[in-house]
Structure 1
Amino acid sequence: MKTITSPRPWLLAAGSTAAVTAVLVAGGLAIKKVAGPQLRITTVRDGAVLNRADAARQTLVIEAGEPGKVRARLDGRPLALRRQGGRLVAELGALAEGEHELSVSAPGSLPLTDGGDTRRFTVDATPPSVTVHGLRSGANGQAPHLVAAGLRRPFSLSGEVKGAVRVLSDGRPAKVRKGKFTLDYPFPPDMVRITAYDAAGNRTDHHVPVVVPHPETRAVHVTALAWASKPLRERILKMIREKRINAVQLDIKDEDGIIGYDSQVPLAREVKATRGIYDARQALDQLHAMNVRVIGRIVAFRDPQLGKASWRAGKRDRLVRTPDGGAYGSQYGAQSFTNLAHPEVRKYNIDLAVEAARLGFDEILYDYVRRPDGPLKSMRFPGLRGSVEDSVASFIAETRRLVRPHGAFLGASVYGIAATRPHEIGQDIAKIGKHVDYVAPMLYPSHWGAGEFGLKNPNAEPYKTVYASMLTFHKVLRGTSAQIVPWLQDFSLGHPYGVAEVKAQIEAAAKTGSKSFLLWDPAVRYHPEALTPGAIGKST
């Protein structure tokens, strides 16, 4: 306890036998008032301002030579004192907001020797207010937010506070002048986080999302090996020159856990995941010179490279486990699926995302950001707290907070079924949509079963399949700022796909209001004729 001695001692007649000490414990701070050689009182500082929680913890303790003669009053009403050892004790209890008066008195043995003291203090339960200027109220139930002009442009905002003595922005002190403040950022953050404190210690946390409109995207998937292949790379570059696409999705970490460039992330090097298949700096410079955005795909939790290395090293909680303690494999192979709840697994993927954003990848697109498919009861996630769906959403939120300052968008590839069946693989689209710039649902018609959307064979009806699925995603994402950039099929599986089928999917997505798309062909051999040349504007 910190003790401060009052500079104003009481004056008592010599020979007084009264001896009283009063102590009021107030959030670790006690003020002591000295009353001559025989009478001492310690009590709350006169004029103190307490919040409701601190006020509720106040305890009055009195030590007196004649305890039976001591009286205490709170706001004019007698305060019941109880004996505790050689002391008198009273809890002040819950106090209403406003001004209060506490007094302690004890009679002396001689005239004019009565002792006592009165302290007035205030309980302030009203936190300070924070107002951010320029908020926009979103359509379809979207929360109020700020809008930035571009992802790699300086961003600033202004606002005001009332009743605050200290203001923090992302944990750092903010300059406030006459109740007004301005915050400047080199790039727009994912969210403005303001904390204000008043004199009583009341706190207000004010969080405002910052939305950066995602540019129209017409992109194709390219593996690391495909980019390293001159013939395949040339096919992609030709599509760029003809203005059929304005973005390239280039793999960073693939389904085998292999990183295509020479990553410097420590765990990547420890588990020997880096291959140096392509030069990231060279690829980024080449594509950016062609005014094309580069989307870095990270296959998150399906990671045999990390899984097998971790199992060998005895770090087996990094993997999804079976009830008997083995590694959950299913159709992915032994030790292939890592544990989405493990801090080191999460950090590994986030470190890769941040490294890529710093290198200049314009977007980070997570894939396999989910649990393995299969019955949930057949798998265990060591360290998981809460649901799988919440763990996935929090992982994505943490990533966005860290990559946004480096000027990168964040997207999440999700299963088409997740819009209506979130628990099958642990992807709750509404929760994910709160923390990404866009959701990339895999709407490949070949992946839908007979009868889905009322279609006998969805694979044979690409337009109807994509259109119906897109409507479902638009509905589920209502109330978020996330845009939809669907994965569309440019490969044949069970039904031949060519120019007409690819065009049909693109037209169906556009009909629902989403002109953006990503084309997928694992062989990276696309149908350029399905894309209208010169149909897109300048990439931003």
Structure 2
Amino acid sequence: MRRRRLNLIIGIIVIIVAGCSIGIMLSLLISDNGRNGDIHITPSPADVAYDDKPEISPAVTPEPTITPTPTPEPTPTPSALASVEVKGLYLTANTAGNPSRLQHFIDLANRTEINAFVIDVKDDHGKVCYETQVPLAVKHGAWEKKYDVKEVIRKLHENNIKVIGRVVCFNDPYMPLKEPSLSLKNTNGEVFTAPVGNSRLAWLDPTNEKAWQYIIDIAKEAVSYGFDEIQFDYIRFPETTNYKYDMSYFQKEKSEYIDNFIKTAIEQMPNVTLSADIFGSICLQTKDVGGIGQTLETISERIHYISPMIYPSHFANNSNHYTGNGVGTKINGILFEKPDLEPYKVIYNTLIITKKRLEEAGIDVKVRPYLQGFTASYMPQGYYINYGVEQYKAQIKAVYDAGFSEWIFWNSGNNYVEDAFLPEQ
């Protein structure tokens, strides 16, 4: 009898232990699914653009509901690197996520004047480039882990390199299709889209405060991870010269909506340096020619930095090619028929006009231009030159001669002419 009772007790203990083990295993499995780690699969940009079909859940047991962690608030004090005079390069998220490539650029910064990198936070495909906790991005899978954000920033800060987070704002081929209420619309009420290459353009609505908050939440999270500055790109409406969309409900000037977005971002991130990329042509145009909601004066009123993209190849030449207008571009009273051939003069004269206009408007904004780090070989023969050491240095000299001290080079493949940069002092 005693042995039978002992066997019964042992049996009960075994059942309890087994039950606990199964519970722990299930808990771990659920936790792994909730983290959306390396198994997370995202569609290509082309898939996203044409994905207008409802999502069909697979015939499996549904995953548990995920409650996203609230977006962390920015640190209350400015970064120690916030005041660095930037001599920077743009790096893609893929470069940041490639340890050997990242180390190459760290080594470059350690031996030259380069002291800052601009890295994608939210990219041109509408995706946050690391594992995000922003609720709306989590809800729709609007992220892709291209780099370990904490590790990348740690490495760069250890080497005294300033890290600027590029946030592509309203141009977004992903989220408007997932959240139509946040998108610009066609006149028939459907989400505004337009074909661009193998993909399609879509646009978060710059008049919509919920769309503002989505972008600001991403920026705030980036700051919490240690980014020293947030650089807003595509902080504008689509060009009305190229695209048609519903504007019937607008109650303000487009520039007022953009200004209110900037004001809201500053209020929510009071100690964070904010910059904005703008077309180089905006420095020359006194009116909102493209209907994008920007003039030099309106975009500069509150933002801390502007980064006009003064790529000589992007100014119209006198050819009949799509890069030309048959005449050329007049800058500061000088007609440039082949702007790409004269990088110093184009940069210098554009910045002189920029400086004059800002001074006349009484606007105290810092100017940090984007410079051309690529050869525009897509242009007709005779209208472009190879951008090597001489052309890089000419652009940098033009910045200094115009009275400015900061610059960033852009090359989409991150293939920079490194011999152009001065040795570290």
TM-score (norm 2): 0.71
Letter in 2 for 1:499: V
**Is the 8 Å Cα contact of residues 341 and 382 (structure 1) preserved in structure 2?**
no
Give the CA deviation at 1:230.
3.1
Is 1:411 the equivalent of 2:411? Answer: no
Give the CA deviation at 1:378.
2.2
Instruction: Give structure 2 stretches of 5+ with no counterpart.
Output: 1-74, 318-327
Letter in 1 for 2:238: P
Letter in 2 for 1:437: H
Letter in 2 for 1:343: E
**Is the 8 Å Cα contact of residues 249 and 295 (structure 1) preserved in structure 2?**
yes
- Following the alignment from structure 1 to structure 2, what is the Cα–Cα distance between the partners of residues 347 and 364? 15
**Is the 8 Å Cα contact of residues 307 and 335 (structure 1) preserved in structure 2?**
no
* Cα shift readout 1:89-135 (whole Å, capped 9, x = no counterpart): xxxxxxxxxxxxxxxxxxxxxxxxxxxxxxxxxxxxxxxxxxxxxxx
Give the CA deviation at 1:235.
2.6
**SS at 2:119's partner residue?**
strand
* Cα shift readout 1:442-468 (whole Å, capped 9, x = no counterpart): 001111002212111111111111111
Give the CA deviation at 1:375.
3.0
- Following the alignment from structure 1 to structure 2, what is the Cα–Cα distance between the partners of residues 338 and 381? 13
**Is the 8 Å Cα contact of residues 194 and 243 (structure 2) preserved in structure 1?**
no
Is 1:525 the equivalent of 2:408? Answer: no
Is 1:318 the equivalent of 2:182? Answer: yes
User: Which of these residues, 338, 356, 371, is aligned with residue 457 of structure 1?
Assistant: 338
* Cα shift readout 1:205-242 (whole Å, capped 9, x = no counterpart): xxxxxxx9953110100111111123422331121111
Query: Closer, same or farther in 2 for the Cα pair 1:498/1:262, shift >3 Å?
Result: same
Query: Closer, same or farther in 2 for the Cα pair 1:382/1:467, shift >3 Å?
Result: same
Match of 1:113 in 2: none
**SS at 2:165's partner residue?**
strand
Is 1:506 the equivalent of 2:369? Answer: no
Is 1:469 the equivalent of 2:350? Answer: yes
* Cα shift readout 1:159-212 (whole Å, capped 9, x = no counterpart): xxxxxxxxxxxxxxxxxxxxxxxxxx9647xxxxxxxxxxxxxxxxxxxxxxx9
**Is the 8 Å Cα contact of residues 195 and 201 (structure 2) preserved in structure 1?**
no
- Following the alignment from structure 2 to structure 1, what is the Cα–Cα distance between the partners of residues 267 and 248? 25
* Cα shift readout 1:260-280 (whole Å, capped 9, x = no counterpart): 111111011112111121111
- Following the alignment from structure 2 to structure 1, what is the Cα–Cα distance between the partners of residues 138 and 249? 25
Query: Closer, same or farther in 2 for the Cα pair 1:335/1:220, shift >3 Å?
Result: closer
Match of 1:388 in 2: 254
Query: Closer, same or farther in 2 for the Cα pair 1:394/1:423, shift >3 Å?
Result: farther
Match of 1:433 in 2: 300
**SS at 1:414's partner residue?**
strand
Give the CA deviation at 1:246.
0.7
**Is the 8 Å Cα contact of residues 170 and 205 (structure 2) preserved in structure 1?**
yes
- Following the alignment from structure 2 to structure 1, what is the Cα–Cα distance between the partners of residues 76 and 191? 44
**Is the 8 Å Cα contact of residues 262 and 276 (structure 1) preserved in structure 2?**
yes
Query: Closer, same or farther in 2 for the Cα pair 1:383/1:289, shift >3 Å?
Result: farther
**Is the 8 Å Cα contact of residues 171 and 201 (structure 2) preserved in structure 1?**
no
* Cα shift readout 1:378-415 (whole Å, capped 9, x = no counterpart): 2225753301111111111211222233xx21000001
Would you say how many aligned residue pairs link Structure 1 and Structure 2? 321
Query: Closer, same or farther in 2 for the Cα pair 1:335/1:504, shift >3 Å?
Result: closer
User: Which of these residues, 148, 157, 161, is aligned with residue 279 of structure 1?
Assistant: 148
Match of 2:364 in 1: 481
Query: Closer, same or farther in 2 for the Cα pair 1:382/1:356, shift >3 Å?
Result: farther
**Is the 8 Å Cα contact of residues 232 and 524 (structure 1) preserved in structure 2?**
no
User: Which of these residues, 369, 375, 381, is aligned with residue 492 of structure 1?
Assistant: 375
**Is the 8 Å Cα contact of residues 422 and 429 (structure 1) preserved in structure 2?**
no
Is 1:242 the equivalent of 2:111? Answer: yes
Letter in 1 for 2:176: G
Letter in 1 for 2:87: R
Q: Which has the higher helix share?
A: 2
**Is the 8 Å Cα contact of residues 322 and 379 (structure 1) preserved in structure 2?**
yes
Instruction: Give structure 1 stretches of 5+ with no counterpart.
Output: 1-184, 189-211, 311-315, 536-540
Query: Closer, same or farther in 2 for the Cα pair 1:383/1:269, shift >3 Å?
Result: farther
Query: Closer, same or farther in 2 for the Cα pair 1:376/1:400, shift >3 Å?
Result: farther
Give the CA deviation at 1:499.
1.4
Match of 2:218 in 1: 352
Match of 2:126 in 1: 257
**Is the 8 Å Cα contact of residues 489 and 519 (structure 1) preserved in structure 2?**
yes
Query: Closer, same or farther in 2 for the Cα pair 1:349/1:359, shift >3 Å?
Result: same
Query: Whose Rg is larger?
Result: 1
Match of 2:245 in 1: 379
**Is the 8 Å Cα contact of residues 319 and 335 (structure 1) preserved in structure 2?**
no
Letter in 1 for 2:416: Y
Moved over 6 A (4+): none
* Cα shift readout 1:307-351 (whole Å, capped 9, x = no counterpart): 2222xxxxx242222223333334545452221111221110011
- Following the alignment from structure 2 to structure 1, what is the Cα–Cα distance between the partners of residues 365 and 188? 40
User: Which of these residues, 77, 81, 91, is aligned with residue 222 of structure 1?
Assistant: 91
User: Which of these residues, 445, 455, 466, is aligned with residue 312 of structure 2?
Assistant: 445
Letter in 1 for 2:357: V
- Following the alignment from structure 1 to structure 2, what is the Cα–Cα distance between the partners of residues 433 and 341? 19
Query: Closer, same or farther in 2 for the Cα pair 1:529/1:483, shift >3 Å?
Result: same
**SS at 1:349's partner residue?**
helix
Give the CA deviation at 1:254.
0.7
Give the CA deviation at 1:519.
0.7
Query: Closer, same or farther in 2 for the Cα pair 1:352/1:527, shift >3 Å?
Result: same
**SS at 1:400's partner residue?**
helix
Letter in 2 for 1:510: Y
**SS at 1:477's partner residue?**
helix
- Report the more deviating stretch, 444-453 or 232-241: 232-241
**SS at 1:501's partner residue?**
helix
Letter in 1 for 2:312: P
User: Which of these residues, 224, 231, 235, is aligned with residue 365 of structure 1?
Assistant: 231
Letter in 2 for 1:433: S
Query: Closer, same or farther in 2 for the Cα pair 1:267/1:220, shift >3 Å?
Result: same
**Is the 8 Å Cα contact of residues 166 and 230 (structure 2) preserved in structure 1?**
yes
- Following the alignment from structure 2 to structure 1, what is the Cα–Cα distance between the partners of residues 232 and 83? 16
Q: Over aligned residues, Cα RMSD in angstroms?
A: 2.2
Match of 2:44 in 1: none
- Following the alignment from structure 1 to structure 2, what is the Cα–Cα distance between the partners of residues 415 and 484? 13
Match of 2:9 in 1: none
- Following the alignment from structure 1 to structure 2, what is the Cα–Cα distance between the partners of residues 459 and 330? 29
**SS at 1:465's partner residue?**
helix
Give the CA deviation at 1:429.
2.1
Give the CA deviation at 1:516.
0.4
**Is the 8 Å Cα contact of residues 310 and 369 (structure 2) preserved in structure 1?**
yes
Query: Closer, same or farther in 2 for the Cα pair 1:335/1:455, shift >3 Å?
Result: closer
Alignment of 1:70-149 (within 5 A): none
